[in-house]
C-alpha cells in the first residue's frame, strides 16, 4: 500500500516535470517564424517510416548503425515491460501479466533480456568510442563541456536501466525456486535463468527480496529520470526524429527558397510590376540573424540534433580545417533558442518585443558562414534529415542584404553581374568563343 502511494507520487512528479520540460521545447520551437509545411503525405510518411523508424540513413555506416539499432530496439521493446511495471506499481501486484499470458510472457521477457544484453554491449562500445577511441567527430571543440557530459550521462543511464532489469529478473528467478507464493513461476527467461542463480544463488531470501525490489525501483526511477532529462538533452532526437523527418524538405536539395518580398521590390524597380497603392515605406529586414527570423522548422531541426557529427565529418570546409562545423551551427541555433526562451519566460514579454542586444551572429561568425561551399554534404549526411545549409544561407542573406557586409572579394563579382551581366568583368563579347 505504502509503495503504491509512493509509486503514484513519484510517477506524477516525473510526468509533471517532464511536461514542463517538453512545453519549454515546444515554446522555443515556436520562436521561429510560422511557415506552413504540408502536402505530399505519401512522401512524408515514407520519410518517417524509412528514415526515422527504419533508420535508413544510419546504415551508410553499418557498425554504428547495428550498435545503435540494438539500443533503439531494446528501448522500444522495454516499453512493453514498462506497462507491467506501471500496473504492478499502482496496484501492488507482482508480474501482473505473467499468469494470463503464460508462455508468451516468458517469450516477451526473454526477448527483452536478449536485447538488453545487446544494448549493454552497444552502450559499452559507445562509451569506449566517446572516451577511449580517438574518433574525430567526437573530438571537435563544440562538444567540450556539457555536450560531452550529456552524451555520457545518457549512456550511463542506459547501463543503470540494464542493471535494474537484470537485478529484478535475476533475483526473481531465484526466489521462484524458494516456494514463495508471491513469486509466480514465469518459465525460463533467456538470460536471468542462468544469470540469477550465478549471481544470487547463495543469497538469503530476505536479501533477495530486497534486491528484486531494488532492481524494480532502479528500473522505473531511471525511466522517470530519463523522461525528465530528455527535454534538456541531445537525446531528444528519439522523439523529434519523427516530426523532423515528416516536415523535412522534399524538393531537390539544390533548390534555395525564393524571397517573394525581394522579388516584388526588384520587379517594381525594373518596371515589370506596379507598386500597390499605399505600399512602400520601410523595407523589412531580409534573411535571418536570430531564431525569430528563422523558420520554426530550422529550430525544430536544432532540437532534433543528437550531435552525432556526421554532417561535420562530411563537410569539405571542416575536413580542411576551416572553422565551419554544420553540427555547431545546429547547436548554436538551439542554444540561442534556449537563451531567448529562458529570458522570455522570466520577462513574460512577447517575442516581437524581445531584444537582448544579441543575435545568432554572436555565436555563428561570418568566417564560418563564408566557408560554406553549399555542397549539401551535411544535408545528405544527417540521419534525421536536418538541414544546416538552409540556416547558413539565410544568415548569408542577412549579412549581405541587411548588414551590407560580407567578403569584399565578392564585390567585383556582384558589380560584374550588375553592370556587364557576367560573373566576371570581361571586355570580350559573350559569344566571342563562337567566332
* Contact footprint for other proteins (CB under 8 A): 60, 251-256, 258-259, 262-263, 265-267, 269-270, 272, 286-287, 314, 316-317, 319-324, 367, 370-377, 379-380, 393, 396-401, 406-407, 409-410, 412-414, 416-418, 421-424, 426, 428-435
**What are the DSSP E strand ranges found in 345-421?**
none
**Which triple of cell numbers denotes residue 402?**
541587411
CB 294, CB 288: distance < 8 Å: yes
CB closer to other proteins, 181 vs 435: 435
* Grid cell at residue 145: 563541456
Of 252 and 279, CB closest to other proteins: 252
Q: How far is the CB of 311 from other proteins (least distance, A)?
A: 12
Our CB check for other proteins shows the closer of 16 and 412 to be 412
Which residues are CB-neighbours of 84 under 8 A, at least 6 positions away? 95, 96, 97
Is the Cβ of residue 1 or residue 270 nearer to other proteins in the bound state?
270
Q: Measured between alpha carbons, how far is 37 from 103 in angstroms, rounded to an integer?
A: 47
Angle of helix 62-91 relative to helix 2-29, nearest 10 degrees, comes to 130
Phi, psi at residue 396, to the nearest 5°? -60, -40
Quick one: which of 167, 298, 307 has its CA closest to 235?
307
Phi, psi of 295 (to 5 degrees): -80, 155
Distance (Å, rounded) from C-alpha 276 to C-alpha 283?
Answer: 14
Nearer to other proteins, 113 or 332 (CB): 332
- Give how far Cα 130 sits from Cα of 41, 139, 147, 244, Å: 38, 8, 11, 26
Shortest distance, position 88 Cβ to other proteins, whole Å: 49
Q: How far is the CB of 123 from other proteins (least distance, A)?
A: 28
Quote the least distance from Cβ 416 to other proteins, whole Å: 8
Q: How far is the CB of 325 from other proteins (least distance, A)?
A: 12
Report in angstroms how near the CB of residue 150 gets to other proteins at its nearest.
Answer: 28
Residue closer to other proteins (CB basis): 102 or 407? 407
Amino acid at each position: 500500500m505504502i509503495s503504491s502511494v509512493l509509486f503514484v507520487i513519484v510517477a506524477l512528479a516525473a510526468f509533471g516535470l517532464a511536461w514542463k520540460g517538453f512545453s519549454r521545447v515546444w515554446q522555443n520551437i515556436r520562436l521561429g517564424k510560422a511557415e506552413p509545411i504540408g502536402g505530399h503525405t505519401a512522401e512524408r510518411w515514407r520519410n518517417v517510416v524509412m528514415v526515422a523508424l527504419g533508420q535508413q540513413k544510419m546504415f551508410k555506416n553499418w557498425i554504428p548503425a547495428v550498435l545503435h539499432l540494438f539500443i533503439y530496439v531494446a528501448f522500444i521493446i522495454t516499453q512493453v515491460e514498462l506497462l507491467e511495471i506501471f500496473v504492478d506499481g499502482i496496484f501492488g501486484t507482482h508480474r501482473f501479466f505473467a499468469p494470463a499470458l503464460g508462455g508468451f510472457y516468458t517469450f516477451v521477457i526473454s526477448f527483452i533480456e536478449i536485447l538488453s544484453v545487446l544494448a549493454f554491449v552497444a552502450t559499452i562500445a559507445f562509451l569506449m568510442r566517446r572516451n577511449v577511441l580517438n574518433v574525430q567527430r567526437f573530438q571537435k571543440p563544440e562538444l567540450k563541456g556539457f555536450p560531452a557530459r550529456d552524451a555520457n550521462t545518457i549512456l550511463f543511464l542506459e547501463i543503470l536501466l540494464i542493471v535494474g532489469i537484470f537485478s529484478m529478473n535475476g533475483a526473481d528467478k531465484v526466489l521462484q525456486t524458494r516456494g514463495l507464493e508471491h513469486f509466480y513461476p514465469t518459465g525460463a527467461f533467456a538470460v536471468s535463468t542462468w544469470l540469477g542463480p550465478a549471481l544470487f544463488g547463495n543469497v538469503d531470501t530476505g536479501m533477495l527480496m530486497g534486491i528484486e525490489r531494488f532492481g524494480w525501483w532502479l528500473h522505473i526511477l531511471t525511466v522517470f529520470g530519463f523522461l525528465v532529462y530528455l527535454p534538456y538533452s541531445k537525446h531528444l532526437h528519439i522523439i523529434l526524429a519523427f516530426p523532423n523527418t515528416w516536415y523535412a524538405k522534399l524538393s531537390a536539395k539544390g533548390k534555395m527558397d525564393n524571397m517573394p518580398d525581394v522579388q516584388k521590390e526588384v520587379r517594381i524597380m525594373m518596371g515589370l510590376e506596379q507598386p500597390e497603392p499605399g505600399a512602400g515605406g520601410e523595407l523589412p529586414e531580409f534573411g535571418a540573424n536570430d531564431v525569430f527570423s528563422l523558420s520554426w522548422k530550422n529550430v525544430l531541426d536544432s532540437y532534433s540534433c543528437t550531435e552525432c557529427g556526421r554532417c561535420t565529418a562530411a563537410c569539405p570546409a571542416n575536413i580542411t580545417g576551416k572553422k565551419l562545423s554544420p553540427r555547431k551551427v545546429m547547436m548554436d541555433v538551439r542554444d540561442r533558442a534556449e537563451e531567448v526562451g529562458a529570458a522570455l519566460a522570466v520577462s513574460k514579454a512577447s517575442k516581437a518585443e524581445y531584444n537582448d542586444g544579441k543575435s545568432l551572429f554572436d555565436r555563428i561568425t561570418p568566417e564560418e558562414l563564408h566557408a560554406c561551399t553549399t555542397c549539401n554534404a551535411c544535408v545528405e549526411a544527417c540521419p534525421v534529415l536536418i538541414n544546416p545549409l538552409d540556416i547558413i544561407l539565410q544568415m548569408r542573406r542577412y549579412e549581405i542584404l541587411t548588414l551590407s557586409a560580407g567578403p569584399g572579394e565578392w564585390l567585383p563579382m556582384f558589380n560584374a553581374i550588375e553592370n556587364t551581366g557576367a560573373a566576371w568583368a570581361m571586355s570580350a563579347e559573350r559569344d566571342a568563343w563562337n567566332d
